[in-house]
Every structure is written in C-alpha cells, then in structure tokens.
Amino acid sequence: MGTPPLVQAEAFGTSGFLAFRTTKSPNETLEKKIFREKMLSVLRKARLKDKEMRILMLGLDNAGKTTIVKKIMNEDVRTVSPTLGFIIKTIEYDGYKLNIWDVGGQKTLRTYWKNYFEKTDTVIWVVDATDRARIDDCKDELHGLLQEERLLGASLLVFKNKSDVGGAMSEADVREGLDLDAIKTHRWTIMACSAMTGLNLHEGLQWVVQDAKDRLFLF
C-alpha cells in the first residue's frame, strides 16, 4: 500500500479561527497582479524544494474526509465524528512532509473554507460516491473553489470515496457529474477510493508527491 507514515502530528481548531491577510487591492494593476502571482510561484517552489507540502482536504459533509485521514494515519476508523472546525495531521511520506488540513464540510462551515486557502499546494476533493442527490451541489462547490486566486497553481486530487459500497457512482459518473474535463486551470486526477478499506489512499498520496516533484520544473 505504499510508504507508511513515519512521523505524525495533529492540531485542532474551530471554524473561522484562522484568518489570513491577502495583499490583493481593488485597484491592483495587471502588472502587480502578474508580479504577485510570480512571487507566489517562487515561494511555492521553494517550499516544495524543502519537501514540505500543505494539503487542503475539502468536500461536502459526510463525504468521508476525516475517515480518509484517519485511515492514512493508521488510526481507528470505526467511530468518526463530524469535523466542526479543522484538524491538521502531519506525516512524512516518500521523503516529503505533508501537512493535511481536514476542514469540516457542513453547509454552515463552507463560508470559512477561504480562511484555509493560503499556501495550499494540493486540494484533495472528497466525493461521496453514494450521494447522487448532491452531485450538482458538489460540482458547484468545487468549481467555485477553483476560481479562488489563492488556489492558483494548486493541483487537484478528486477522491471518489465509498467506491466499495454497492450502487456507488462509477468514476465516469463522477467525472461527468463534477464536469472535471472542463477544468483547464489546475492539474488534476480522479481516483476511486475507500476510507474503510484503504483502497487507493496511499496511491493518492503518491500522486500528490509525484505531482510536487514534477511541478518543480514547471514554474
């Protein structure tokens, strides 16, 4: 199942606890915007060279985000409570330090997601493959995220969770439902996974790390 976590750390917080300042100005010129984006790319490249990554795990409520994190960390997944704020887990994987931010997905908490965008290298978007009724809501939230300026340059891994459950949507169903092929602004991939069995969780982390290595030569 790939390289196991070597080092683990954890932090908790409540929604809205972290608030990051942005240097964006309403009167910002195109030249300043381009310069700022180049500086962000330089900073991201420097952090990747230091082999440290910030991963933001998002998705609708009940998608299985926290269970995925717990499974990756080899923790007990039999009882998992909804995340009402955020949880940070840190692991060393394939030589990289991965700081995974697991943020609650309840509708009342989604307005706080923007507080966690700063310095994100990869977004892991978790989809409940059994929740056909909310696939449009899931698509709208995802595409809204990808328009955020602070997520420019971040890659996207879509985890189709609960793939082991009977009647779950296929990868093609989720790909179409989320309109993934319309995404031209971010590097992305989709993987079927199971938070309960561990299916493809480490393969997902492998993609994240390999993508980081590849991007060192793209900035």
- Using CA atoms, how far apart are residues 151 and 148, in angstroms rounded to an integer? 6
State residue 14's pLDDT score.
44
Terminal C-alpha separation, the chain: 31
Would you state the pLDDT for residue 51? 87
**pLDDT attached to residue 30:** 60
Nearest to 128 by CA among 172, 205, 62: 62
SS3 152: coil
pLDDT for 45 equals: 58
The pLDDT value recorded for residue 158 is 99
24 phi and psi angles, rounded to 5 deg: -65, 135
Which pLDDT score is estimated for 8?
46
106 is catalytic: yes
All domains in the chain, ordered by first residue: 51-218 (3.40.50.300)
Q: What is the mean pLDDT of each run of 10 residues along the chain (219 residues)?
A: 44 42 49 57 61 96 97 94 91 94 95 94 98 98 96 96 98 99 97 98 97 72
Binding site: what residues are annotated? 59-66, 83, 105, 161-164
pLDDT recorded at residue 29? 63
Summarize the annotated binding site for Mg(2+) as residue ranges.
66, 83
pTM of the model: 0.80
Of 106, 147, 206, 210, the active-site residue reads 106
Phi and psi (nearest 5°) for 36?
A: -65, -40
Q: What pLDDT is stored for residue 38 in this prediction?
A: 54
